[in-house]
Amino acid sequence: MKSLLITIDGPAGAGKTTVSRMLAARLGYSYVDTGALYRAIAYAAKTARIASDDAALEELCRKIKLEVIPRQDGFCLMLDGIDISDKIRTPEITMLASAISARPVVRKYLLYLQRELGKNKQCVFEGRDMGTVVFPDADMKFFLSASLKMRADRRYEELKAKTGQTREEVEKDMACRDKNDSSRDIAPLVPAKDAVMIDSTDLSAEEVVSSMIRRITHLI
Ligand code: DC
């Protein structure tokens, strides 16, 4: 059986994480949510009181040790030996991750780490620039989108018990991140030319995964 490297890019709330996890489980592959890596650096910067535009980010990236340890249901994220997987989903870290992700030094550091993780293929990578920058030669690329309203509804349902944000605040933050992530100079959120586009606005996660599997079967 051929080993594939599959990328899924798209904006926040399009369903990338759910779908990547399901697709990886279906194929017996591992999956990496690369947004979590940007969140981990944002968490490290916040802990060290380093702002997103501070030159000290470079030294921070040199000093930290970030590890992705595969688990049955995904992976666990270790920062300097401590599991921070549960600490990176706050609204503050979310916005800080978007801001630091525009810094070339951060992207350079993570480019290397992501390519190391993808070396053995058999992996689904989800993010913003997987098919365009990190893995331009991926075996299969998807770009998953959905309307802003639907994405905000989904994210609100997912986070309401945890963050206390209103539905309006969730949509406002999401629109702001869409703008930051799509308009930055380096590795902006754009579909790769050879990506298969899927609009998940009116589709269930199961329907999205089935449509992906249909596109992949002939490659395996
Ligand atoms: O997928 P997420 O919401 O957890 O990502 C958090 C931020 O990280 C997102 O706003 C932009 C950045 N990011 C990126 O620039 N490139 C990626 N491949 C993944 C995430």
Instruction: Express each pLDDT in 67-85 by its tens digit.
Output: 999 887 778 999 999 999 9
Which atom of ligand 1 has the smallest separation from the CA of 129? 18
pLDDT at residue 1 is higher than 80: no
The region, left, alpha or beta by phi > 0 then psi within -120 to 50, assigned to residue 109 is alpha
Q: Which residue has the least CA distance to atom 9 on ligand 1?
A: 98
Instruction: Express each pLDDT in 189-206 by its tens digit.
Output: 999 999 999 999 999 999
pLDDT at residue 149 is higher than 80: yes
pLDDT for the residue numbered 72: 74
- Domains of the chain and CATH, by start: 5-208 (3.40.50.300)
Look at the block and give the residue holding tokens 């993780």.
Answer: 117
Q: Is there a contact between 187 and 38 (Cβ–Cβ < 8 Å)?
A: no
197: phi then psi, degrees, rounded to nearest 5? -90, 130
Ligand 1: does its nearest atom lie under 6 Å from the Cβ of 189? no
Ligand 1: does its nearest atom lie under 6 Å from the Cβ of 98? yes
> Rg for the chain (alpha carbons), in Å?
17
Look over the chain and give the mean of its residue pLDDT values, rounded to a whole number: 95
| Residue 161 banded pLDDT, cuts 50, 70, 90 | confident
